[in-house]
Structure 1
Amino acid sequence: MQDRNHFDVVVAGAGPIGAATARHLSERGASVLVVGPDEPAGFADHDGVWAGYYDQGRLAHVLEVPLMTSMLAMRSIRRFPELQERTGERFATPRHSLTIMPDDSERSGVTAWFNRALLASNAADLNVEVEHLENDQLEREYPELRFAPGHVGIIQRDDAFIVNPRGLVRAELAAAVEQGVVVVRDMVDTIDRSGQGAIVTARSGESWRCEQVVIATGAATNVSGLLPRPLDMRTYGATVVLVEVSDPAEFDIPAMMYLKASGGEVVFGGIVMSPLQYPDGRWYIKCSGKSLLDNPLDSADAIARWVRTGGRQEDIAETLDLLTELLPGKTLGPAHTRPCMVCETPTGLPYIDKVDDRTIVAVEGERGAMSADEIGRLTAGLALDGVWTDGIPHAAFQARWAEAESSPPLVAVAGI
């Protein structure tokens, strides 16, 4: 019988990566405790941590850079059907992915996320078929959409999904609990590493002994106080704009990453989702606001203040302008914002690494939902094997400590 005061591994964080790590640990026979809070009821008076996965839709595809990001996503995506069948949680909806960029993006120095040749090369390396669409082909393929002149696209039809991150977490935790994982809805407050193993204490005062700790606290990792010093990563407040639609069937559109440029300047660079049903029962087109990396957050208080704002209200007008142009003749309902958080490492890749002999960190910001299952598998392997055994070089995921002036992040627009 499991000693509920002692575990092989305690996972701090019950989001996509923490839940996936717990599942993969348990499937290899480890005794596991997951400690993480429930989703708050709202954000207007919220005071505490906030998670980016509190949402209904994330794009999951392989049209990403660098190649290792695409590889992590592909490995996770191809396990979605088995996880859905096992748990009955339908968190992944097939939806082809369309990335739109200026036709000179390969020469103009825009972010690599919109370099069509590079995206296609990565897909080819993973044996994923994609199609190039020139401006006139876009018009024929999507007659209901109006893209700005001089823009082209690349489309992935297979192994592309809209993932409900809340549903993904429910599925990962359900599979983990089935294997004996214990879940406690609390927050880890301290980790005592002074003796053998570690003692993990929650905000409630409850504590547990364990051999190892996995810190999977997402964008709040550096402000959690659970690491000996901050990692080289930055956390940003992001805004999601939800635009209500009365009849989702009228909006049969792909999930899009859209870099719209005009006059040599980026007008919009972000996500436009096909309609999603939210917990209030209504349907919304979800867009990432333009101000994705404008709001750095460097403390728990800064995160709490950002969450209480509800997001940048100016993003609403910009988003409605974009959708009115993109979807001419369609009736759009009221729009509102939701706060989100993303984090970035200097390489754009997750950290999956031992930071001491009893602590592993597993953190990914913007692509946590689509890559979480594979990040969890790799983290579990590192914890139980003690060494890196995967064919992907571990150097790509080794953690970096912050210096006095940390490296600038790899600028990205995808994920929220």
Structure 2
Amino acid sequence: MRDLYDVIVVGAGPIGSATARHLADRGHSTLVTGPDEPAGFEDHRGLWAGHYDEGRLAHVLEVPLMTSLLAMRSIRRFADLRERTGVTFTVPAHSLSVMPRTMAGGSGADWFDRDILARNARDLGVEVSELDEDDLREQYPALTFEPKHVALVQRDAFILNPRRLVEAELAAATAAGATLAREEVVRTEKVDGGVRVTARSGASWLAERVVLATGAASNATGLLPRPLLMPTYGATIVLVEVDGPDAIDMPATMYLKYRDASAVFGGIVMPPLRYPDGKWYVKVAGSSLLHNPLDTAEEIGAWVRTGGRREDIGEALAVLSDLMPGQKFGPARTRPCMVSATPTERPYIDMVDERTVIAVEGERGAMAADEIGRLTAGLAVHGRWKDSIPHEVFQARWAEPGWTTAGRNASTIDPPAPRTADATDGAC
């Protein structure tokens, strides 16, 4: 390894690996560091990453428009990344967003506002179709949606495998000259001419700048001088076993389900995906996003060891039974995930100090990661913003010392929580 790197990227998830790739592609000496995925969660200690999964949506049916723009910039480079690395990390899919025909305002109203979503997509030149209740029934006959619901569909979307995306980004980064160290960083400190980065093992490296791409766990790493305004939660995904890839005929579906004028489900239902155990599962996520506030590494580890909220299994099976009456499902299990949110509803890509950059997007980071990584690499190299999007869009907001997710410090701005139980996306 080198004595001095141009940039060390702390965090080898979607954003960190993409940042390292774009740095290496520009010819900068780069070290990216982060532990391998743990073998299991039952006895896990410490931090956890949100990308340990097989399927997320990559589409433009998002609010705000900036999220869709970042995703589109990333998606346009997917083919090149696949060609460079030989890693397949997407499959074509319909992205279907289903919502009540009329809906009261509230925390999730904009995220499932069909007019806003359609307008955003068309602003980016992406073709979408608006479906009324009859259209929905005709085009997706295998599914039974709640009465008086309508939809919006993007037919050229993808299901993205975040594990394979990281594999591709790291393969491209190392092929371009980056160094990968499978280490957990526990300390950074400014020294003459740079930053010293130290791992739990005792290994240390020097760099002119460091990027912290530490995801939803950023406030728990001990690497920031003060907390970000960014609540973090332990989320649950439910995996329901099916016989194989053709067991269910359905698109990737964002579903806001109302009954008697009240939301009964808000989340994502994915078509069958093959997981590392070799089995095929339908994934359901979104029922209990805000039930588990997390602030410390100890709290994160304890949450991960639970394996997720068992009560979500019944809720997921109820949603699937209504969607596909008579369909036979196998055993269901939970997996832990993590999400975070910012009060701007956009990523933070900003300077912490003159030698440190923060890059974090806790909800929709996988599909937009390549573009977030490109923007982060530019900021790390130049120390200033050089993109047509104004930097103000991505500037970090900071909390006072002592601010926590669970007990918001009353003297600080109270940031909105992530998409609530009546509005969540494919974050997990």
- Alignment counterpart, residue 160 of structure 2, candidates 156, 160, 163: 163
Deviation at 1:406, TM superposition (A): 4.1
Residue among 34, 37, 40 paired with 1:39: 37
2:404 pairs with 1:407? no
Q: Which residue of 2 aligns with 1:196?
A: 193
Give yes or no for contact 2:212–2:357 (8 Å, CA) kept in 1: yes
Distance 1:118 1:106, change over 3 A: farther
1:319-338 mapped onto 2 (5 Å cutoff): 319-338=316-335
Among 124, 146, 157, the alignment partner of 1:126 is 124
Once the two structures are superposed, what CA deviation does each residue of 1:202-244 show, in whole Å capped at 9, x if it has no partner?
Answer: 1111111110000000011001011111111011000000000
The residue number in structure 2 matching 1:273 is 270
CA distance in 2, matches of 1:316, 1:298: 25
Pairs within 5 Å for 1:250-265: 250-265=247-262
CA distance in 1, matches of 2:167, 2:9: 16
CA contact 1:98–1:153 (8 Å) conserved in 2: yes
1:90 corresponds, among 88, 106, 118, to 88
Residue 48 (structure 1) shift: 1.4
Q: Distance in 2 between matches of 1:108 and 1:51?
A: 30
CA distance in 2, matches of 1:122, 1:383: 30
TM-score by length of 2: 0.95
Q: Residue in 1 aligned with 2:289?
A: 292
Distance (Å, rounded) in 1 between the aligned partners of 2:373 and 2:174: 15
Q: CA deviation at 1:247?
A: 2.9
Range with greater deviation from structure 2 (147-156 or 105-114): 105-114
Quick one: structure 1 residues 378 and 106, their matched pair in 2 at CA, closer, same or farther if it must change by over 3 Å? Answer: farther
Write out aligned runs for 1:379-398 (5 A). 379-398=376-395
TM-score normalised per structure 1 = 0.97
Amino acid at match of 1:10: I
CA change 1:108–1:170 in 2 (3 A) is closer
Deviations 1:164-208 (A, max 9, x none): 000000000000000111011011111111432111111111111
Taking the aligned partners of 1:16 and 1:309, their CA distance within structure 2 comes to 25
User: Is 1:243 paired with 2:240?
Assistant: yes
Paired AA for residue 409 in structure 1: P
Percent identity, aligned pairs only? Answer: 62
Query: What secondary structure sits across from 1:301 in the alignment?
Result: helix
Match of 1:143 in 2: 141
| Structure 2 gaps, min length 5 | 401-408
CA distance in 2, matches of 1:220, 1:385: 26
1:9-29 per-residue CA deviation (whole Å, 9 max, x = no partner) reads: 000000000000000001111
Matched residue type, 1:316: I
2:358 corresponds to 1:361: yes
| Distance in 2 of aligned mates of 1:140 and 1:46 | 46
Q: CA deviation at 1:385?
A: 2.3
User: Which runs of 5 or more structure 1 residues have no equivalent in the other structure?
Assistant: none
**Count of matched residue positions in the alignment of Structure 1 and Structure 2:** 413
The 8 Å contact of residues 65 and 120 in structure 2, kept in 1 or not, is answered as yes
1:191-230 to structure 2, matched below 5 A, reads 191-230=188-227
